[in-house]
Structure 1
Amino acid sequence: MSVGHTGVTTPAATTPVVSCAEECGVRDVQDRLGDKWTVHVVVELAAGVRRFRELQRLVPGISQRMLTLTLRRLERDGLVTRTGYPTVPAQVEYELTGSGHSMTHLIKALVDWSLDHRGAIAEARAAYDARGRGGGA
């Protein structure tokens, strides 16, 4: 590429808002928040302690297996605690940890951003599709 071309496609003298020069752990957080069910489960747990079946009812479409995997991953990451009680049948409750509760602020910010921008995103998608560019690269 020519120097002139690079100047056109690369903004001059901009400072990135976020930088992650070395391994900063963002991939782990992205993997957790980016899966299909984590945000839904965290939102339900933000309201308080929940039993497994209660969570399954509150998160429409989640299977028992996916809820189990999601809760295990959240527990492994230190975002959820699991408390089992020796009853018949066994009773298990899940609760957000301090770190889990702090993550709800990120989720709220993402929800707020999406609400503020969904109209503009819908318009941009419609304009893109109208240009016939919706089928690929």
Structure 2
Amino acid sequence: MEKQTMAGKEANMHAEMRRAFALLSGKWKLEIMWLLDQRIYRFGELRKAIPGITQHVLTAQLRELEADGLVSRTVFAEVPLRVEYKITEKARGLGPTMKALTAWWTKYGKSVPAKPSGRGRKAKHG
């Protein structure tokens, strides 16, 4: 009987972790979160900071992150309109995870073969 209870808890935790992974899934979400952890960005600054992302995709990813409470969007009533994005306190709770990923990459990143950037805008060199 105890195995059934444990199996139920494991299944529930699996479902919960799937929800957590879904929050950060998407080709650009982790990169957006990492950048916003450094400072507040305007939309155009984010687009320039992420080579290969399109305006459409950046808009969609930011909307999803905002809907999930991980990014806040502030609109300033100015001409031209100014919009700023920053991570929320909830997202700052991912700090230890981001630090662990940074430490892992520092140790093993050189052993990972580079991949072509794929679709989207090409990075400008020079």
TM-score past 0.5 threshold:
yes
Provide the identity percentage: 35
Query: Could you list the runs of 4 or more consecutive aligned residues of structure 1 that deviate by over 3 angstroms after TM superposition?
Result: 117-122
- Please give the residue correspondences for 1:114-129 in structure 2 after superposition, counting only pairs within 5 Å: 114-118=105-109
Label 1:76 to 1:20 Cα distance change in 2 as closer, same or farther (>3 A).
farther
| Offset of residue 51 of structure 1 | 0.6
Match of 1:35, SS state, is coil
Contact kept, 8 Å, 1:39 with 1:107, in 2: the verdict is no
- Please give the residue correspondences for 1:57-68 in structure 2 after superposition, counting only pairs within 5 Å: 57-68=48-59
Aligned equivalent of 2:40: 49
| Offset of residue 43 of structure 1 | 1.1
Greater RCO, CA 8 A, separation 6+: 2
Q: Which runs of 5+ in 1 are unaligned?
A: 1-18, 123-137
Q: Which runs of 5+ in 2 are unaligned?
A: 1-8, 114-126
Aligned equivalent of 1:78: 69
Contact kept, 8 Å, 1:48 with 1:95, in 2: the verdict is yes
How many residues align? The count is: 104
| Pick aligned residue for 1:90 from 81, 87, 104 | 81
TM-score (norm 1): 0.66
Aligned equivalent of 2:12: 22
- Computed over aligned residues only, the root mean square deviation of the Cα atoms, in angstroms, reads 2.2
